[in-house]
Structure 1
Amino acid sequence: MDTMRDRFAPVMARLLDEDPRVAVVLAEIGRDAFEEAMRTHPDRVINVGIREQLLVGAGAGLALAGLRPVVHTFASFLVERPFEQVKLDFGHQGVGGVLVSAAASFDWPEGGFTHMAPGDVGVLDTLDGWAVHVPGHPDEAETLLRHAVGPGPDGAAKDDKAYVRLSVQANQAPMPVDGARMLPVRQGHGGVVVAVGPMLDHVLAATEGLDVTVLYATTVRPFDAATLRGAVADLGPGAAADVVLVEPYLAGTSTAAANDALLDVPHRVLGLGVGRAELRRYGRVEEHLRAHGLDAASLRARITAFLRAAA
């Protein structure tokens, strides 16, 4: 299976062909995959070099000129390093664009902590109006990229702000994502587990045989409060409204959103994800998952302990 990032350049090449508003801005990362697109659209595929603040600023400048910029590099260099430019050049100036990241929380462990970004979604949460998409399969990445870049279903050009978080971690099969709703995957009565993006396969393995509802989320901002509320209501009379969020980034990133969704319902929320402690023996992706308790065996133990505590 190809990776989400393998899909990125071909999808963007087609979007460049289809829509004269679309532009791509790179900071060396991914440049080789765009060589043909650079020759075909030299005015709309721009490589600024290893200058991440300029990367974001140039993207916002293209938006001011009426284009739909798609800005790409590693998550730590796209959201964290040039955060001031994301905040001011896009947000303060009131323009839209699409940030597309790579390397996720720890996709390239040998790159070290400089190339890890478990806090990226939490950082964007401090800003207003950013949609956040977290695909769990390359097919979903293609769908969500097209959804983010536009045009919309009505054919209108998009000018909103969106972040698409690509990862080498992926589920075995794609789901019919739509850029808005959580999808019900399994129905139960003992609680609700929300699996975000590439966490779905781990969550399904972890909850095999448990009487829980599993929801699948690939668009986490705006948070789909209605589907979560519906799933909690469907647990049945007298059931405890226990919710577990399993996210492939900083643990607890969406607990406030889940609490807000259930404000008038007595409930408990457990946020599972990447811990704050830096793992200095970088190892492999699978080792990071285990260290953060995100492998299937660890998730099962943590989820069952939480649900058992309410019994």
Structure 2
Amino acid sequence: MDTMRERFISTTSRLLDEDPRLAVVLADISADGFRPAQLAHPDRVINVGIREQLLVGVGGGLALTGVRPVVHTFASFLVERPFEQVKLDLGHQDAGAVLVSAGGSYDWPAGGFTHMAPGDVALLDTLDGWTIHVPGHPDEAETLLRQAVRGDDRVYVRLSLQQNDSALPVTGAEFLTLREGGSGVVIAVGPMLSAVEEAVAGLDVTVLYATTVRPFDSATLRRATERASSDVVIVEPYLTGTSTAAANDALRDLPHRVLGLGVGRKELRRYGQMSDHLTAHRLDPASLREDITGFLGVR
């Protein structure tokens, strides 16, 4: 099975053939994968080199001319380094673009802390008007990408090497209700689903699956709490607590508790492998089960 990033390259290359409005802007990352598309569409596959502020600025400029830009590099270089350009060249100019990241929170630990971006979604969440997709499987990534390029709005598609065992029919809107229970609600975001399903096996809980986290699907969460306890656990593959405020707002008129589980703020300086980071941040199934059962009081 291919990775989300490989599927992004193959899907976007086909979309360039299909849609003359589309352009891809790169900063060296994935340039080799897009080489055939660049030869076929030299005016619509633009590699600016390792210049991430320019990367976003070019995307914003293209958008102002009516082009639909797909802007791509590692998450730390797409959201964090050029954040001012994301805020001004896209948001302030009311220009639409599709930002597609690779690398997730710590997909390439050998690259060091410069290549880790657990705070990317929280950072974008400070800006208005962004749709944020967090697919958990290459098939879902393709579905969400195809939806994103058809619009004119600002979309962030967060790709990772971490992925679930199988794809689900995601819609780009509401959370999917995978099972119902009475002792609480667990929201699994993107590639955390397989670990969450293993963690809650045999527990009387509702499981929601989220691949579009902004806008936050308050309606589905409220319906879930009508059938279950209003205690909510959100398991996210990025910074702990990124969506707890959104869940609190959704349930603001109801007695409830929210626990956010995700990547901690403490920097891990022994980089190891991705699996080591998952365990260190208690995102492995055994740790998730311990934290979920402890919070919800279920066994």
Say yes or no: TM over 0.5. yes
CA distance in 2, matches of 1:35, 1:245: 39
Show the counterpart of 2:83.
83
Show the counterpart of 1:21.
21
Asked whether 1:232 is paired with 2:225, we answer yes
Show the counterpart of 2:202.
209
Tell me, what secondary structure is at the counterpart of 2:221? helix
Shift of the alpha carbon at 1:14? 1.2
Matches within 5 A, 1:168-207: 168-207=161-200
Letter in 1 for 2:40: T
Tell me, what secondary structure is at the counterpart of 2:232? strand
Letter in 2 for 1:233: E
Shift of the alpha carbon at 1:205? 0.3
Shift of the alpha carbon at 1:7? 0.4
CA distance in 2, matches of 1:9, 1:88: 27
Asked whether 1:161 is paired with 2:151, we answer no
Matches within 5 A, 1:230-269: 230-235=223-228, 240-269=229-258
CA distance in 2, matches of 1:243, 1:171: 22
CA distance in 2, matches of 1:278, 1:250: 12
Residues 214-234 of structure 1: per-residue CA shift (max 9 Å, x gap): 000000000000000001111
Letter in 2 for 1:217: A
Show the counterpart of 2:93.
93
Matches within 5 A, 1:113-128: 113-128=113-128
CA distance in 2, matches of 1:14, 1:278: 39
Show the counterpart of 1:63.
63
Residues 260-286 of structure 1: per-residue CA shift (max 9 Å, x gap): 111111100000000000000000111
CA distance in 2, matches of 1:306, 1:289: 20
Letter in 2 for 1:147: Q
Segments of structure 2 that go 5 or more residues without pairing to the other structure are: none
Of 264, 276, 293 in structure 2, the residue corresponding to residue 275 of structure 1 is 264
CA distance in 2, matches of 1:308, 1:38: 55
Tell me, what secondary structure is at the counterpart of 2:259? strand
Residues 176-208 of structure 1: per-residue CA shift (max 9 Å, x gap): 001001001111100000000000000000000
CA distance in 2, matches of 1:35, 1:119: 31
CA distance in 2, matches of 1:269, 1:15: 40
Residues 229-265 of structure 1: per-residue CA shift (max 9 Å, x gap): 0011112xxxx31000000000000000000111111
CA distance in 1, matches of 2:253, 2:3: 41
Shift of the alpha carbon at 1:19? 0.8
Show the counterpart of 1:136.
136
Residues 61-108 of structure 1: per-residue CA shift (max 9 Å, x gap): 100111000000000000000000000000011110000000000000
Q: Identity rate of aligned residues, in percent? A: 72
CA distance in 1, matches of 2:16, 2:6: 17
Tell me, what secondary structure is at the counterpart of 1:32? coil
TM-score by length of 2: 0.99
Letter in 2 for 1:50: I
- Alignment root-mean-square deviation, CA: 1.0
CA distance in 2, matches of 1:226, 1:148: 22
Tell me, what secondary structure is at the counterpart of 1:243? strand
CA distance in 1, matches of 2:10, 2:148: 16
CA distance in 2, matches of 1:245, 1:86: 27
Show the counterpart of 1:147.
147
Segments of structure 1 that go 5 or more residues without pairing to the other structure are: 151-157
Asked whether 1:7 is paired with 2:10, we answer no
Q: What is the aligned residue count?
A: 299
